[in-house]
Structure 1
């Protein structure tokens, strides 16, 4: 079963093996994995390493039926929380209706050893059509009991000149309770984020550069993430090896 997973961009910012060539284990099972280094770990526009480097790895077991399950991990550095790494476990189902249209649905469990306040679960659905992606992620246990909804729209193309790929995304993260407080005392329960990424496979490695930003102010970011610059405009560089 030589195939690639349909989308598997289940964290909209974390790629759990997307578009990696599968290693065939049997007629029905493939193993998809990668290991990489980035200038920071950015999740939905927010840095989870206070803009410091991150090492990440993932492995996904995929069945010919479209079912899959896997694990993803990264170091983290979040001010005020003792967590040093994140380990995510996920399972889902991907189905192509045509060569250009398909759907990916599933479940993610985020865990932060020594930082259990960040532990959460999400269910998600991603529709892919002619390069466009429309994704939705829902949780009812963010920070213990807060509901959370993240929606995004994106577009990707892989065959630009010189083998360059381009992916763009615009998303909105919406919390049940006000979570972002400005210097004048105003509060809001949502923020917007966006990313534009160029990528290229060179010397058997996958290289990328992303422009990442949000509409959160430094004060709002400081109160939310413990670092005033972790939500600001920045460039994120990465290199990974798929297997």
Structure 2
């Protein structure tokens, strides 16, 4: 089995903040207490994208992907979720990625901290092929500098990179700018966002590389249309070593349409 098995397949971790509804106590008699927020919530969503791109490397061989997730949050602290997507790449040639995660996430004013564990699994792999299932732990920090600007950083680490018992790490800094002044419609909002990061693997098992993306989108109620451009510092030869396909790297355009909501928003 060659090192083309070293594919960097990890979902971009989906995090959906569940915000309790604003109190309407000022519209009620003083003796009526406001309704207490629920101790739990379930967020869920689905996405259609022209290409499943993970850290600027295609996991679907440039083909469209359908993705979905569900996440349970308890006490605005504890969460656990599941995410899935079709995939198409070399190595053991799986047909689907299925991730399970759990952790702690809480907002302290403008600061949101998130730590957790994610288990990455692949289904329908070739018989007798190396199993690429592995795990990662992670930490994410986001800070709302203003009402319209949020910045943050993350780091993910494993000692079992794609099932080979090798240390692997990736980290990135990101930012998002909301553009409320661009829309005259109350339910339509625009934004721009970007990310720059690096992945490195111990013992030269897979090529280290930088990755980035820059784009923007529009939201309408629970729907989001996102358009962005992405790239990685991997040559075609390094790409073949990394994921088993020399054409899965390189600068490319991404477009996705997603629907995200939660039980609290449906009440």
Which whole-Å CA distance do the structure 2 matches of 1:231 and 1:207 have between them? 23
Q: Does 1:18 align with 2:16?
A: yes
Q: Secondary structure at the match of 1:223?
A: helix
- After TM superposition, the score normalised by the length of structure 1 is 0.84
2:253 counterpart SS class? strand
Which residue number in structure 2 is paired with residue 147 of structure 1?
A: 167
1:114-161, Cα deviation, whole Å (9 max, x unpaired): 346321101000111121111111100113201011111111122352
Q: Distance in 1 between matches of 2:200 and 2:221?
A: 40
* Residue segments in structure 2 that go unaligned for 5+ positions in a row: 1-8, 22-36, 145-149, 184-188, 262-267
Offset at residue 240 of structure 1 (A): 1.0
Structure 2 residue corresponding to 1:217, chosen from 235, 244, 263? 235
Residue 57 in 1 paired to residue 75 in 2?
no
Specify whether residues 211 and 106 from structure 1 end up closer, same or farther in structure 2 by C-alpha distance, changes over 3 A only: same
Q: Report how far residue 204 of structure 1 moved.
A: 4.8
Aligned length, in residue pairs: 222
In the alignment, which residue of structure 1 is the partner of 2:250?
A: 232
TM-score, reference length from structure 2? 0.77
2 CA distance for matches of 1:225 and 1:74? 17
The structure with the largest helix share of the pair is 2
Structure 1 residues 44 and 67: CA distance shift in structure 2, 3 A: same
Structure 2 distance, partners of 1:204, 1:193, is 29
The structure carrying a bigger strand percent of its residues is 1
Matches within 5 A, 1:160-175: 160=180, 161-162=182-183, 163-175=189-201
Larger Rg: 2
1:20–1:242 contact (8 Å) kept in structure 2: no
> Gaps spanning 5+ residues in structure 1: where?
1-10, 181-188
